[in-house]
A and B are shown apart, each in its own frame.
Chain A
Amino acid sequence: MPVTRMQTMVSKSQTMSDRTATASRLEEVVSTPDEFDQVVLQALPMLLDRAAGSTKRFLRETGQWNDDIEHEKFALRWGSEYLERFLVCGRTEVPCRPLFLFDSLVAKQHSKPEPFCYHPDLLRPLGRFLDGLAARAVISRDALIALYHHAYGWSPGEVIAVTGLNGVESQRIYKNFRRWRESGWQRTMDEMGLTKVELAELGNQQQRHRQRFNSEAERLIRVAQTHYRKSEPNHYPCLSRSQWGEMFTQGYGCDYRIWHLALCLDCMQTAWGLGSNGSTIGEKPRLELQVRP
């Protein structure tokens, strides 16, 4: 036993000294992008912990922190987001001191009015699932198109009909669906920290109490959509039915339709039936959450 304890202590002290060496290397000036990559890639764990720590501090200071695993995961998730951006953009900032550059990037993010979508209910599995979908939709067209499926259960053909797309755009929709099924969905679930057990439990809840489940999902997806719609181009506001009608009839604003309707339940109801030249006669769409792609 004493030998094991000794080994643990030696291992801990070794780790500590490694971390110190890495930190001091990060504080030194790097002159080339390759050097930047080399130094930063060696220090990913340390930088992730640092970013998560900053996020945690920000949440504490803004009265949004709770000592539980959901909040810890939230902080880690945003730390990872910042680190990903740093990995790509930081190399264009050389010569620089990576550690200080990283700190400034995180601080800059936290100085924004709403750096991330925080709501206590969005930290639970259903909230995390919806938050993950909406957050991913902002940066991935595959996820954006997949939102139509997850929110309304539509197939690619139905998405094309509802959004009134032409031939070229239609092909892309099929491609988006395929990629999302192949890898996008799993990747998003992994990044949101949703385990297989949690996903299975969501499926069970949906089967047992479908109506309650969907109404809760509608409430939460509205919170997420309101936040992430800010990432749309700022000339994409909500429109009246006549304005949507004009857009659909004249065939312009493909991107507008795809982006906005996926991220706005209300406008989806407003523009319902315009895309398929009125051939879709039926009830306005209600949220029917699909957990699987």
Chain B
Amino acid sequence: MGQEEDLELYRSRLLESLDSHASRCLRGVSDPIQVYVNERRVGELEGAGIGAMLQVQCIDHIDTVQLRTEEGTLLGGLVAPEHGFRTDRLRLSADTIELCVHNTSQGGTLSALFMPAPSFWSRAWKSIAEAADRLVARRPDTALVYGMRMVAFTQALLAIAVVGLVADRVTTWMTAERTPSPVIQTASLPAAPPAGTTRLEQQLDEVARIQTKIGEALASQQNGIVQLHQAVAKLSSTQESVVSSVVMVKEEVKEELEKRLEAVGRETDRTTRHVASKGRVEQEQLEAAIHSLTADNDRLSKEVAGLEEHNQALKTKLQAANASKAVDPNPDRLLARQNDPGRQPLQLADSLQGSQQQPFLFWVTFSDGTSQESIDQWVNGMKGHKGAVNEGWQEVRIVPPPVPPDRFLEQIRGEKIVKAARISQ
């Protein structure tokens, strides 16, 4: 039972503390304000400083910002978004602290600016100076100019009145110094001339009038200042809202731009990758074609060289035959040779036939699902022979076709079961 009471007492004490926290401000005027980011202390703002500023850059995102007194009382704070800006203006009595958090993928930055409450006169002069600046900066509003003139006139009037009052008082004091003591004065009053009393009354009336005027002037000046304050407050709130909207719009535009840039980047990447892969394929095909052409070229040049050699040999034989004919003493043998007219052409023809009868070699791949039987049938149909298989390419030897190789390959490629064909390996 005692424990329950103890617990209840503790709970109500905590609640009291929380409740009073909401309505108190315990900060001394000159005490620094402790700044915490993500519940770690990062520095302090000079409480008495004019425009004291603290800037913090973190590697991590800034999650929370807290401002505390040296006693530990939580004065204010904010929760920041994962990305982007969050600004807040905290009022501590009359002072203001402006917090601005910016989180990016690289981390977060915090800037805290302490703005102490300005004094009444500095505010008034500031307002007037700002109004004057604005008047200089742009075409003045007639009403405002009139108001300003009124204020200036009232101030001048007030100054004159004060000077008059002071002069009057000084005169009165000096007169009083010359007059006898109050007792004597009282005694001598009936003897004072009535003209002096009248003058004194007039002076009193005058002073009263001046005082009334001063009062009116002061009231009108205060009214003017109040109106000015209201105008300035409205203006500053409008400015704040404009600034915040500008920040928001900037942020939105930035986000939109980032999104678009990302989208464009992705699209460009995809296109580039596609083009690059297509280019690679085409390059490979081209290289294969060049390779096959080179091989064909080599083969042809070898064949040409062989034929030239053969030709050379035939020429040599012919020359030798002519020479032997020229020197051969046996006319019968010569005659016999002459009687064998087809012999030399026959030899030439033999050599040509030999070169023609070299098998024509090509490589072919077949469409998926083509049976071995169909392949054999197709090869037999061409009176060819199958050779080695290398990486899916089937070597086929046939009797040299009557058409040029390229045309022959085109014909082959037109076959239903053929997927691709080429001459070189």
B79, CB-defined interface residue at 8 Å: yes
Interface pick from B18-26, B142-150, B154-162, B262-270: B18-26
**Contact status B3-A69, CB under 8 Å:** yes
Give the distance in Å from the alpha carbon of A259 to the alpha carbon of B43 in the complex.
12
B163, CB-defined interface residue at 8 Å: no
**Contact status A69-B6, CB under 8 Å:** yes
B340, CB-defined interface residue at 8 Å: no
**Contact status A89-B64, CB under 8 Å:** yes
B393, CB-defined interface residue at 8 Å: no
Chain A residues within an 8 Å CB radius of B69: 140
- Tally A residues with Cβ within 8 Å of B: 42
With contacts A93-B79, A143-B72 taken as known, whether A232 is within 8 angstroms of B40 at the C-beta atoms is yes
Give the distance in Å from the alpha carbon of A174 to the alpha carbon of B36 in the complex.
23
Give the distance in Å from the alpha carbon of A142 to the alpha carbon of B28 in the complex.
13
With contacts A84-B21, A232-B41 taken as known, whether A73 is within 8 angstroms of B64 at the C-beta atoms is no
Chain A residues within an 8 Å CB radius of B412: none
Give the distance in Å from the alpha carbon of A232 to the alpha carbon of B34 in the complex.
13
With contacts A85-B66, A87-B22, A93-B79 taken as known, whether A231 is within 8 angstroms of B6 at the C-beta atoms is no
Chain B residues within an 8 Å CB radius of A234: 40
B382, CB-defined interface residue at 8 Å: no
- List A118-170 residues whose CB lies under 8 Å from chain B: 136, 138-143
Residue of B nearest to A37 (CB): B22
Interface pick from A8-16, A23-31, A188-196, A279-287: A188-196
Give the distance in Å from the alpha carbon of A175 to the alpha carbon of B29 in the complex.
13
Q: Which of B10, B21, B70 touches A193 (beta carbons < 8 Å)?
A: B10
Give the distance in Å from the alpha carbon of A176 to the alpha carbon of B72 in the complex.
11
A41, CB-defined interface residue at 8 Å: yes
What string of 1s and 0s marks CB contacts (under 8 Å) between B17-61 and chain A?
A: 111011000000000001010011110000000000000000000
Give the distance in Å from the alpha carbon of A183 to the alpha carbon of B20 in the complex.
15
A83, CB-defined interface residue at 8 Å: yes
Give the distance in Å from the alpha carbon of A48 to the alpha carbon of B3 in the complex.
19
Give the distance in Å from the alpha carbon of A263 to the alpha carbon of B331 in the complex.
132
- List A180-227 residues whose CB lies under 8 Å from chain B: 183-184, 187, 190-191, 193, 195
**Contact status B21-A87, CB under 8 Å:** yes
Chain B residues within an 8 Å CB radius of A259: 41
Give the distance in Å from the alpha carbon of A45 to the alpha carbon of B15 in the complex.
7
Q: Which of A76, A93, A139, A140 touches B14 (beta carbons < 8 Å)?
A: A76
Give the distance in Å from the alpha carbon of A44 to the alpha carbon of B21 in the complex.
12
A92, CB-defined interface residue at 8 Å: yes
- Tally B residues with Cβ within 8 Å of A: 34
Residue of A nearest to B86 (CB): A92
Chain B residues within an 8 Å CB radius of A84: 18, 21, 74
A103, CB-defined interface residue at 8 Å: no
**Contact status A73-B7, CB under 8 Å:** yes
B71, CB-defined interface residue at 8 Å: yes
Give the distance in Å from the alpha carbon of A142 to the alpha carbon of B3 in the complex.
32
Give the distance in Å from the alpha carbon of A259 to the alpha carbon of B36 in the complex.
14
Chain B residues within an 8 Å CB radius of A37: 22
With contacts A48-B14, A231-B39 taken as known, whether A195 is within 8 angstroms of B6 at the C-beta atoms is yes
Give the distance in Å from the alpha carbon of A119 to the alpha carbon of B1 in the complex.
26
- List B61-89 residues whose CB lies under 8 Å from chain A: 64, 66, 68-72, 74-79, 86, 88
What string of 1s and 0s marks CB contacts (under 8 Å) between B87-119 and chain A?
A: 010000000000000000000000000000000
With contacts A140-B71, A140-B72, A232-B40 taken as known, whether A88 is within 8 angstroms of B66 at the C-beta atoms is yes
**Contact status A92-B79, CB under 8 Å:** yes
Q: How far is the CB of A197 from chain B (nearest CB, A)?
A: 10
Q: How far is the CB of A239 from chain B (nearest CB, A)?
A: 18
Chain B residues within an 8 Å CB radius of A105: 79
- Most chain A CB within 10 A, of B7, B18, B21, B72, is at B72
**Contact status A76-B11, CB under 8 Å:** yes
A55, CB-defined interface residue at 8 Å: no
> 3 closest Cβ contacts across the A-B interface?
A140-B72, A80-B14, A92-B78
A residues whose Cβ falls under 8 Å from a Cβ of B = 37, 41, 44-45, 48, 69, 72-73, 76-77, 80, 83-85, 87-89, 92-93, 105, 136, 138-143, 175-176, 179, 183-184, 187, 190-191, 193, 195, 231-234, 259
Q: Besides the contacts A69-B6, A184-B71, A191-B17, what 14 more A-B pairs have beta carbons closer than 8 Å?
A: A44-B15, A48-B15, A73-B10, A76-B7, A80-B14, A83-B18, A87-B18, A87-B22, A88-B66, A88-B76, A139-B72, A175-B70, A193-B13, A195-B6
Provide a sorted-by-A list of 14 A–B residue pairs whose CB atoms are within 8 angstroms: A48-B15, A69-B7, A88-B66, A89-B77, A89-B79, A139-B68, A179-B70, A190-B13, A193-B6, A193-B10, A231-B40, A231-B41, A233-B40, A259-B41
